[in-house]
């Protein structure tokens, strides 16, 4: 494989970092995207990854901003290389019962988790269509499949991501582009460790495997979907949740 680019939104995050590492090991030039590159975090992250043997590029784009996503992708295509893999991993939570949820928390979650997928995918799609090859992988959530107390916004956005996945998969299948989603269960990242310990332990007790998942377990699935081994898989959702939610 020649050096092509894997673009990972939220690539500096708990799950995104492991996905970046996995795709780097698979031979891609990995461009991790962040909301705000100016913050020290990006430099610290690059240095930390370098120490572990990984060389990553970081680009900035707010995934809620269509113009910014388009400009960033154009820059990557021109200055770095052809984007072969897009992983939509950027996401936020703003939990609260619907009764108390204000509009801003609805809007923030929908625009980051769902509009963000549109904004980034639309930005890479023409390039992928021209080359007749691409791998689009959307990081959804178990809570998009089954709903979750206090997460009407997040569950709606994550379920919406999969509707998007299934529809786009049909539109681009004949152009060599696959579109899939991965639905993690509870993964031990800052997002989940921020949950109150008592609630976290209660959540773990409901998982048949009796433990949270590791970011690497999501990354391995993304690596598989990006590889040639997954050539005939499109429009699929792969749950990685320790048995927390099963369906067919």
Distances (CA, A) of 25 to 20, 108, 124, 227: 9, 33, 22, 12
* 13 versus 82: smaller Cβ distance to ligand NDP: 13
Q: For 86, list phi and psi in degrees, rounded to 5.
A: -120, 125
Known active-site residue 154: yes
Q: Which residues of this chain interact with ligand NDP, rule CB under 6 A? A: 9-10, 12-16, 34-36, 62-64, 89-92, 112, 139, 141, 184, 186-187, 189-192
Least spacing, CB of residue 130 vs ligand NDP, in Å: 25
- Give the chain's end-to-end CA distance (angstroms, integer): 34
Q: Is 27 left (phi over 0), alpha (psi -120 to 50) or beta?
A: left
- The H-or-E segment that residue 180 falls in is strand 177-184
- The H-or-E segment that residue 31 falls in is strand 29-34
Residue 81 tokens, joined: 């290389």
* 228 versus 247: smaller Cβ distance to ligand NDP: 247
CA distance 242 to 56: 30
Candidate list 28, 154, 186, 232, residue with the active-site label: 154
Least spacing, CB of residue 154 vs ligand NDP, in Å: 7
Q: Where are the beta strands (DSSP E) in 82-190?
A: 83-88, 134-139, 177-184
Least spacing, CB of residue 120 vs ligand NDP, in Å: 9
* 1 versus 47: smaller Cβ distance to ligand NDP: 47
Residue 94 tokens, joined: 């703003």
* 1 versus 199: smaller Cβ distance to ligand NDP: 199
Q: For 60, list phi and psi in degrees, rounded to 5.
A: -105, 130
* 234 versus 241: smaller Cβ distance to ligand NDP: 241
Least spacing, CB of residue 62 vs ligand NDP, in Å: 4
Least spacing, CB of residue 189 vs ligand NDP, in Å: 3
Residues annotated as catalytic are 154
């Amino acid at each position: 494989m020649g050096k092509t680019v894997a673009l990972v939104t939220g690539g500096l995050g708990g799950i995104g970092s492991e996905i970046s590492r996995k795709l780097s090991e698979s031979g891609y030039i990995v461009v991790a995207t962040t909301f705000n590159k100016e913050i020290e975090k990006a430099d610290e992250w690059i240095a930390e990854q370098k120490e572990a043997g990984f060389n990553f590029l970081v680009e900035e784009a707010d995934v809620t901003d269509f113009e910014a996503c388009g400009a960033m992708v154009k820059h990557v295509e021109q200055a770095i290389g052809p984007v072969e893999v897009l992983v939509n991993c950027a996401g936020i939570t703003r939990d609260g019962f619907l009764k108390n949820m204000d509009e801003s928390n609805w809007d923030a979650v929908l625009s980051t988790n769902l509009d963000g997928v549109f904004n980034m995918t639309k930005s890479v799609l023409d390039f992928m269509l021209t080359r007749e090859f691409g791998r689009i992988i959307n990081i959804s959530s178990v809570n998009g499949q089954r709903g979750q107390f206090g997460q009407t916004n997040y569950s709606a956005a994550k379920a919406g991501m999969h509707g998007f996945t299934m529809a786009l998969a049909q539109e681009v299948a004949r152009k060599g582009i696959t579109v899939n989603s991965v639905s993690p269960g509870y993964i031990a990242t800052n997002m989940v460790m921020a949950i109150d310990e008592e609630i976290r332990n209660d959540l773990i007790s409901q998982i048949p495997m009796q433990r949270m998942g590791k970011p690497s377990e999501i990354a391995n699935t993304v690596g598989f979907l990006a590889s040639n081994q997954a050539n005939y898989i499109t429009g699929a959702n792969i749950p990685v949740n320790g048995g927390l939610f099963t369906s067919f």
